[in-house]
Amino acid sequence: MLERQRDAYLAHVAVERGLSPHTIAAYRRDLDRYAAFLRGQGIDALESVRREHVAQFAQSLSTGDDGGRALAPSSASRTVVAIRGWHRFAVLEGWTPADPAAQVKPRAVPKRLPKAIPIDAVERILDQAGAGDGIAPLRDRALLELVYATGARISEATGLDVDDLSLEPGAESVLLRGKGRKERIVPVGTYAARALDAYLVRARAPLAAAGRGEAALFLNSRGGRLSRQSAWAILRAAAERAGVPDVSPHTLRHSFATHLLTGGADVRVVQELLGHASVATTQIYTLVTRDTLREVYAATHPRAR
């Protein structure tokens, strides 16, 4: 019974909320662990679950007392969110008369400041991405210029088709599809537009010739869509050559947001550009800029110390 109820819920969130396969797989693991805990309590259907069962399981996530591994706060919080959604769905479907998870809250996750790098470090990475001869540097430079120019996630950039990009003079923009397939149109700056034009004119056609007419904007050497892993490898290699350590797939996105806010952009505008559903998610970047202001103040004001 638990397996059927789990599968129905996962099918629901996949269709109705448009969650990515990666998120669905994470939810499945979370719910499988919860179902194993419930079976250990002699429970084989959601209607038999009580609040104390949910609370006990939530507590065990950080200790591993249920037999699973102890989770970090962020993973434990995600698991509780998945469980709450499952029980809420069960009430809506009429499987259970009440929601035993309604009062069990996810653990508060400490806010982590996004890692941003200085503008000159970004420029070194972009320069290194385009260094060398051949068509690959043209593609690599265009890819990273676009990610930094738009704040796109790596997966959003690799998911682009040629028709999603407009390089019409004065109206350069790209259509990005974020979490839940939510679409947003983001302007493309001059540097990125030039790099993309060079790639499209001089490099994409030779790459496409090796494939079967793939519509993807960014192609690999076989003419297929460039994967997220390959895009990450391109960024990492360029960062290593540029001497910029500890670069992650989100580094350029974080830097995009931080540099905009530091330059005076409104947080609501940055929220729209990033595709955040809530401005609260974007506001974490303002902590970065406030830290920078404090550092500058402490270092330069004659009576700051």
Residue 291 in this model has a pLDDT that exceeds 70: no
Number of structural domains (the chain) is 2
Residue 100 falls inside a structural domain? no
pLDDT tens, 208-240?
999 888 999 999 999 999 999 999 999 999 999
84 falls within a domain: yes
State whether residue 166 is helix, strand or coil.
Answer: strand
- The pLDDT value recorded for residue 158 is 95
Find the mean pLDDT for residues 175-195.
Answer: 88
| Distance between CA atoms of residues 223 and 202, nearest Å | 15
Rounded alpha-carbon distances, angstroms, from residue 290 to 39, 267, 302: 49, 13, 19
State the pLDDT at residue 292.
Answer: 61
Residue 205 belongs to some domain of the structure: yes
Domain that holds residue 7: 2-92
If phi over 0 gives left and psi between -120 and 50 gives alpha, with beta otherwise, what is residue 103?
alpha
* Length of the chain measured in residues: 305
Tokens of 206: 């030779």
From residue 108, how far is each of 54, 72, 74, 130 by CA, in Å? Answer: 17, 11, 8, 42
Which residues carry out catalysis?
153, 179, 250, 253, 276, 285
CATH of the domain at 209: 1.10.443.10
